[in-house]
Amino acid sequence: MAVPEGEFYICALYLARSSEHLFELVEPSALNTHTRYTARSIDSFPKPNAGGPTGSTPAGRAVGNLLAVGNVGSGMELTVLGSGSAMPVPERVQSGYLLKDSGGDGADRSLLVDCGSGVLHRLADTDPGYEGVSTVLLTHHHLDHVAALLPLVKARWLAGEGHLEVVGPTGTKALVDGLLDVHDYLDGRIDLVLREVPAGRAFTAGGFDVVGRETRHSMSCLAYRFSPPSRDDDPAEGPLTLSGDSEAFAGLAHFADGSDVLVHDCSFPDGTDVSNHPTPASLGESLADVDVGTLLLSHLYPHTGGREAEMEASVREAGFDGDVRVAADGLRVRIP
């Protein structure tokens, strides 16, 4: 099958940005495999620009950074495990966030939000590890948010951890049941509890108080706002909001109003013709009249590579007046 010129161009960029050693090792078959995946991906989204689908970005080099929004040593901590999307780049795995809180009662609490491909490897590099996380909260059921769910079940089974609760929007039970139908040797290996949560009603997950809100996406998706167990806050007033996948719109901006930290889908740079996800200008515009301390741009497609500073500036120019930062895998945020 002939390779369309445009797709070959993307491969050429990939190779040019790889090390010379890697360039020598790439087999023609590997090149073709990469081309086929690229061709399928661009059915839905425009091609990345010349900034390329891979490479070490300024955000990528920020792995392990600590961003203290409040007083370091207090409150809860968010770790960005995966700031990427459905099109892989080396430095960003798919969606995943770890919430931790030591609380005032001495009990350590951990909650994993979303579990895309690559997240388990990042989780294994944290203090709790996959052994220490017994609750997963899903925003929605797209593959880049649930791909590592059964791998987590298997890892916990092999590690002798006998329990996992999976919490998510309507359809979560059917999703997990379907996955276990396919991988039936995992069925019954651990005590697996499935719980579906509606939008607008507060609930508890992993010890955190949470409330969800429907987003605007290509499938049903919930944004979540969190309050740590150490505080008596209504989660609707909590200090942390995660958008899940969503276009930017006033209702979601209002949901996040008053958050110290908002992690928001910002999948593509300005100028990208896309729906179901925001661009920096649309996001900044939606957040112009709300009070958010720090905005982390996440769920980043390869198209954003090399355009991080431009995206941060665009959000501000569109009207958002808080701090803006492009997320990176490994970034830790202490939240008051």
Q: Which is nearer to Zn ion, 85 or 134 (CB)?
A: 85
Three-state secondary-structure class, residue 96: strand
Q: Are 210 and 233 in contact (CB under 8 A)?
A: no
Please state, as a whole number, how many other Cβ atoms lie within 10 Å of the Cβ of residue 234. Answer: 12
Residue 269 and residue 275: Cα distance in Å, rounded? 13
Three-class SS of residue 99? strand
CA distance 221 to 198: 11
Interface with Zn ion, residue 245, by CB under 5 A: yes
* Helices 28-41/5-17 angle, 10° precision: 120
Longest dimension (CA), the chain: 64
- CB of residue 267 vs Zn ion: minimum separation in angstroms? 8
Give the other-Cβ count within 10 Å of 37's Cβ. Answer: 13
Q: How far is the CB of 250 from Zn ion (least distance, A)?
A: 20
What letter does residue 46 receive in the DSSP assignment? P
* Closest to Zn ion by CB, 86 or 335: 86
Minimum distance from residue 93 beta carbon to Zn ion (Å): 12
Residues 6+ apart with CB under 8 A from 165: 134, 135, 136, 192, 193, 194, 195, 205, 206
Q: Whole-number minimum distance, CB 220 to Zn ion, in Å?
A: 10
Instruction: Give the CB-side neighbour count of residue 20, counting CA atoms within 13 A.
Output: 0
Could you tell me the smallest distance in angstroms from the CB atom of residue 81 to Zn ion?
Answer: 14
**Residue 186 in tokens:** 């995992």
Shortest reach from residue 299's CB to Zn ion, in Å = 6
Q: Which of residues 124-163 bind Zn ion (CB under 5 A)?
A: 142, 144
Q: Shortest distance, CB of residue 85 to Zn ion, whole angstroms? A: 6
Would you tell me which residues interact with Zn ion (CB under 5 A)? Answer: 142, 144, 245
